[in-house]
């Protein structure tokens, strides 16, 4: 194996610390959370108390001022453990950065410390029943009123952390006739009149993750609810595009870590499982299959590690992040399928982590922009045009 050079001793010490946290506060309860369809709220507060939320936010906003590689370590460990119900990554490395990069000083001061402590859970509402990867097709509107407030109407679906969320960044059209240039981002607190959370959605995988529908019926928002203030009205689509490389790389990070975990579980299983009087690992097909998978995951890890180096110095471009997201999630699904096959009938039993990982993997090729959209982004960056 190629030694990893991405992390230093402090990152690895953090990895050990977060593993201990998972062993104590997540692992014993995750199966029960899968049954109930959401994680207990207390796991958010405990993470905040231990400094595991919003680590890359500045210290004066409740964070640790850490580099993004600490968040990479956390994402890897959650994926390695199969703890897909934990929405820390979206909360800390998607919602919080929008506030940090685009929020007013008042918005940052109000919300970032609460997100860092776990007293507030964050979500971002992009997808709609008729608008998934096509963010320009958003139908939710926030129309400015005579008094300077906005009236929010519409609905969102597939919203991670949506049921727990205390703060939601809502993508809405402030000028529906202006296309992408009419898109703005709003900060919406739970309990605001007219804002309702729908049922928790029942999914193929990610069963412990609370994924919800959100509904907005004449929700009155003050001008202060516009992320970045009035100067940012109509700039929401630009903000979304600027943050997408890091968001998509996060999916790739989880994909590679989950694929490696699947190989590790399968290695242990085939050495113990006896078929026709010998270990499954002794068959050439088993050895060659695992050798091929490990090679491909190693290649993917080197690429993703390079992308992590780039994002840590703000040099990761959209096309490269799209390559990472598409390639690694396709590979993740391939690895899961091959490993389930090597488990045989037991690979179809929910009590085995490989089975849950197989179910969890499928959405990786869909959210964050489908892999077909990733190929479109890459081809356009190559100068191949398109509509």
Catalytic residues: 247
**Residue keyed to tokens 């977060």:** 18
Residues in the chain: 387
Q: Which residues contact 13 (CB under 8 A, 6 or more apart)?
A: none
CA distances (Å), origin 64, targets 52, 60, 150, 251: 9, 9, 35, 23
Tokens of 273: 């499982």
Following DSSP, what letter does each residue of 121-183 receive, concatenated? -EEEE--BTTBSS-GGG---EEEEPTTS-EEEEEEEEEEETTTT-SEEEEEEESSGGGGGGGE
For 269-280, give one letter per residue: b (16+ CB within 10 A) or e: bbeebeeeeeeb
Angle between helices 236-272 and 318-343 (to 10 degrees): 30
Pairing of strands 278-279, 211-221: unpaired
β pairing state of 150-160 and 122-125:
unpaired
Q: How far apart are the first and last CA of the chain?
A: 43
**CA 197 – CA 184 distance, rounded (Å):** 21
| Cα 338 off chain centre by | 24
> How far, CA to CA in Å, does 210 sit from each of 24, 40, 77, 326, 341?
21, 10, 20, 25, 29
The Cα-based distances of 166 to 34, 119, 122, 379 in angstroms read: 21, 9, 6, 39
Question: Angle of helix 9-25 relative to helix 42-49, nearest 10 degrees?
Answer: 150
């Amino acid at each position: 194996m190629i030694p990893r050079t991405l992390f230093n001793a402090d990152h690895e010490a953090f990895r050990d610390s977060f593993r201990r946290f998972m062993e104590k506060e997540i692992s014993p309860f995750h199966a029960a959370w899968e049954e109930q369809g959401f994680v207990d709220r207390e796991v958010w507060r405990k993470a905040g108390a231990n400094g595991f939320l919003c680590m890359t936010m500045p210290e004066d906003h409740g964070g640790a001022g850490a580099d993004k590689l600490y968040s990479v370590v956390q994402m890897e460990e959650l994926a390695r453990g199969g703890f897909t119900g934990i929405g820390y990554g979206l909360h800390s490395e998607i919602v919080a950065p929008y506030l940090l990069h685009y929020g007013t000083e008042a918005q940052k001061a109000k919300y970032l410390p609460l997100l860092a402590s776990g007293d507030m859970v964050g979500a971002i509402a992009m997808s709609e029943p008729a608008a998934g990867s096509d963010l320009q097709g958003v139908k939710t509107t926030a129309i400015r009123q005579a008094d300077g407030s906005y009236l929010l109407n519409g609905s969102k679906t597939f919203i991670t952390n949506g049921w727990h969320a205390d703060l939601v960044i809502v993508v809405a059209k402030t000028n529906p006739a202006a296309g992408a240039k009419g898109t703005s981002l709003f900060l919406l607190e739970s309990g605001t009149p007219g804002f309702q959370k729908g049922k928790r959605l029942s999914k193929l995988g990610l069963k412990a993750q609370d994924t919800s529908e959100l509904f907005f019926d004449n929700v009155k928002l003050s001008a202060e609810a516009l992320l970045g203030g009035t100067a940012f009205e109509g700039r929401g689509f630009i903000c979304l595009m600027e943050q997408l490389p890091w968001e998509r790389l996060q999916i790739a990070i989880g994909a590679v870590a989950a694929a490696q975990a699947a190989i590790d579980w399968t290695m242990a299983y085939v050495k113990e499982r006896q078929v026709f009087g010998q270990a499954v690992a002794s068959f050439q097909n088993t050895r060659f299959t695992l050798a091929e998978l490990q090679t491909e995951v190693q290649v993917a890890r080197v690429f993703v590690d390079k992308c992590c180096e780039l994002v840590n110095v703000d040099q990761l471009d959209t096309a490269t992040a799209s390559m990472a997201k598409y390639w690694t999630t396709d590979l993740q699904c391939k690895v899961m399928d091959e490993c389930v096959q090597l488990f045989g009938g037991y690979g179809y039993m929910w009590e085995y982590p490989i089975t849950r990982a197989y179910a969890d993997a499928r959405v990786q090729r869909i959210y964050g922009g489908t892999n077909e959209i990733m190929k479109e982004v890459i081809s356009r960056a190559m100068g191949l045009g398109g509509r």
